């Protein structure tokens, strides 16, 4: 469990219907030439047989609206591979450790020279964008420069943005966004979204207020030295 897990509660997720499940899989894997869900691609990602995926997509039994797909399998399809998710958690912990170092009064040795050299102690921007041509929102971390922001804007239109003191603040806030939106997450195939596939959620999810979310986080007011 990360620090963000302890202070940010996920918002309620969507009402999962067969139609929403099919739409999500069509959006995230692309349709087959005949317009249906790419069963083989979904099966490969989930590590199951195509017949299992077909069963997941079958209509609910008469008299019930409950989906056939198990909850843990639905969550698996919404998230990245376990090693990628674990790496994201490690990045969050590294950002938290760095912020603790920045908060250490009078301990300059806690600040690594590489942080300054790489510009990580400069201001960064957290941006939520609406991905061009896709029904997804994404959170991104970038330097607070016109050029860096321009690169992000090539992927989508700005929904919200916030400048924070350092890259570590930005990483902590981006993690908080994904924790809040986790029940609305999607994980598109690489050919549909090349960058930031674990930082994406459905566009019809409740909006995120970056400023309010940032203010609720520990270390929110820690400054670079």
pLDDT digits (tens, 9 = 90+) for 165-192: 999 999 999 999 999 999 999 999 999 9
Write the secondary structure of the chain as one string of H (helix), E (strand) and C (coil). Answer: CCHHHHHCCCCCCCCCCHHHHHHHHHHHHCECCCCCECHHHHHHHHCCCHHHHHHHHCCCCCCCCCCCCCHHHHHHHHCCCHHHHHHHHHHHHHHHHHHHHHCCCCCHHHCCHHHHHCCCCCCEEEEEEEECCCCEEEEEEEECCHHHHHHHHCCEEEEEEEEECCHHHHHHHHHHHHHHCHHHECCCCCCCCCCCCCCEEECCCCCCCHHHHHHCCCCCCCCCC
| Alpha-carbon distance values, 187 to 42, 110, 123 (Å) | 11, 36, 29
β-strand pairing of 124-131 with 156-164: antiparallel
Domains in the chain: boundaries: 3-215
pTM for the model stands at 0.89
| 3 pLDDT tier (thresholds 50, 70, 90) | low
**pLDDT tens digit sequence for 131-155:** 999 999 999 999 988 888 888 899 9
Give me the percent of the chain exceeding a pLDDT of 70. Answer: 89
Per the listing, tokens 């760095």 go with 98
Average pLDDT of span 209-219: 90
**pLDDT tens digit sequence for 112-130:** 788 888 888 999 999 999 9
Q: Give 137: exposed, middle or buried? Use CB within 10 Å, 0-12, 13-18, 19+.
A: buried
Report whether 224 contacts 121 (CB < 8 A). yes
Per the listing, tokens 């912990």 go with 93
| 196 pLDDT tier (thresholds 50, 70, 90) | very high
Give me the percent of the chain exceeding a pLDDT of 90. Answer: 69
């Amino acid at each position: 469990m990360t620090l963000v897990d302890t202070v940010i509660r996920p918002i309620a997720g969507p009402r999962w219907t067969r139609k929403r499940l099919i739409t999500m899989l069509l959006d995230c894997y692309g349709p087959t030439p005949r317009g249906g869900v790419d069963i083989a691609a979904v099966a490969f990602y989930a590590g199951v047989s195509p017949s299992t995926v077909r069963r997941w997509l079958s209509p609910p039994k008469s008299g019930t609206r409950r989906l056939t797909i198990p909850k843990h399998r639905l969550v698996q399809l919404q998230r990245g591979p376990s090693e990628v998710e674990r790496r994201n958690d490690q990045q969050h912990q590294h950002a938290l450790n760095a912020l603790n170092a920045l908060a250490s009064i009078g301990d300059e040795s806690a600040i690594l020279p590489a942080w300054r050299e790489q510009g990580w102690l400069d201001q960064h921007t957290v941006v939520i964008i609406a991905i061009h041509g896709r029904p997804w929102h994404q959170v991104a971390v970038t330097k607070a420069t016109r050029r860096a922001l321009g690169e992000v804007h090539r992927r989508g239109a700005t929904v919200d943005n916030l400048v924070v003191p350092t890259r570590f603040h930005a990483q902590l806030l981006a993690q908080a966004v994904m924790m809040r939106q986790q029940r609305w997450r999607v994980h598109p195939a690489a050919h549909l979204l090349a960058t930031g596939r674990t930082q994406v959620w459905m566009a019809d999810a409740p909006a995120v207020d970056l400023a309010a979310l940032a203010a609720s986080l520990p270390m929110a007011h820690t400054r670079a030295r």
